[in-house]
Structure 1
Amino acid sequence: MTEATERFFESLPARAPTVLRGLVDGTLQIDLSTDNQTEHWLVRMRPGAIEVSRSRGPADAIWYSSAELFDRLIAGEAQGVAAVLRNESTFSGNVVLFLGFRRFFPNPPGTRDPREVARKAAGRLG
């Protein structure tokens, strides 16, 4: 497991109050594979809080990914939903947990909120 992955999981509890809001409540098991080895992370999420351990289920959902892809996700170089749709990773279970967890990943460099772009364009027109 990379140091970046370790730091990412260590940072989750402090970031949870601003990231996790709404209906996210359950346990997500994240299985990260490198060659023939799989690392397990168990992430218990609820509104405003998260607990992380290096163990396996029981879980409400399981997300399988390569460690290489996960490193790209935490660097903002890949998108979680796109990776699942391209079959680069797989997911089973409560999709709300996956959608909530992906909010911890950074946006790709240069990404702008389309609402902000529209506000600036409207300001120039008016």
Structure 2
Amino acid sequence: MTEATERFFESLPARAPEVLRGLVGGTLQIDLSNGNRTEHWLVRMRPGAIDVSRNRGPADAIWYSSQDLFDRLVTGRAQGVSAVLRNESSFSGNVVLFLAFRRFFPNPPDTRDPREVARERAGRPR
């Protein structure tokens, strides 16, 4: 397991109140493969809270990814939906959980809010 992935999962409970504002609830199992080894993470989401463990268990959805791809996701160098659409990772079960979980991933480096850019170009203060 890489340090970036470890830090990402450790940060989830503190970030959940801001990210999980809707009525999303359920359990997502994330299976990360690295060669012939697979690491498992169980993420239980509910409005404003998240619990993370290194277990396998009953889950409403399962997301399969390589460790390398997941490292790129947690550092903003890849996008989750794009990876699934390109068949770089796969997902089964309740898609709403995947869509909610992807909001924890950072934006790509040097990404800026277009409203901020427009304000700068218009010469108006924030």
TM-score greater than 0.5 by the shorter chain = yes
Letter in 1 for 2:70: F
Over the aligned positions, Cα root-mean-square deviation in angstroms equals 1.5
For each residue in 1:45-72, what CA deviation from the matched residue of structure 2 results, as whole angstroms up to 9, or x when unmatched?
0111000011112001100000000001
Separation in structure 2 between the aligned mates of residue 25 and residue 47 of structure 1, nearest angstrom: 7
Question: Equivalent residue for 1:4?
Answer: 4
- Where does residue 110 of structure 1 map in the other structure? 110
Amino acid in the other structure paired with 2:61: A
2:55 corresponds in structure 1 to: 55
User: Mind listing any 5+ residue stretches in structure 2 that lack a counterpart?
Assistant: none
Normalised by the length of structure 2, the TM-score is 0.91
Letter in 2 for 1:66: S
> When the two structures are aligned, how many residues end up with a matched partner?
124
In the alignment, structure 1 residue 30 sits paired with structure 2 residue 30 = yes
Per the TM alignment, residue 75 of structure 1 is displaced from its structure 2 partner at its CA by 0.6
Counterpart of 1:40, as a letter, is H
Q: Does 1:68 align with 2:68?
A: yes
Give the deviation of 1:7 after TM superposition: 1.3
CA drift of 1:112 comes to: 2.0
Give the AA of the match of 2:62: I
Other structure's SS at 2:82 match: helix
Structure 1: 4+ residue segments shifted above 4 A: 118-121
| Residues in 2 aligned to 1:119 and 1:52: alpha-carbon distance in whole angstroms | 39
TM-score, structure 1 as length reference: 0.91
The alpha-carbon distance between structure 1 residues 119 and 95, as it changes in their structure 2 partners (threshold 3 A), is farther
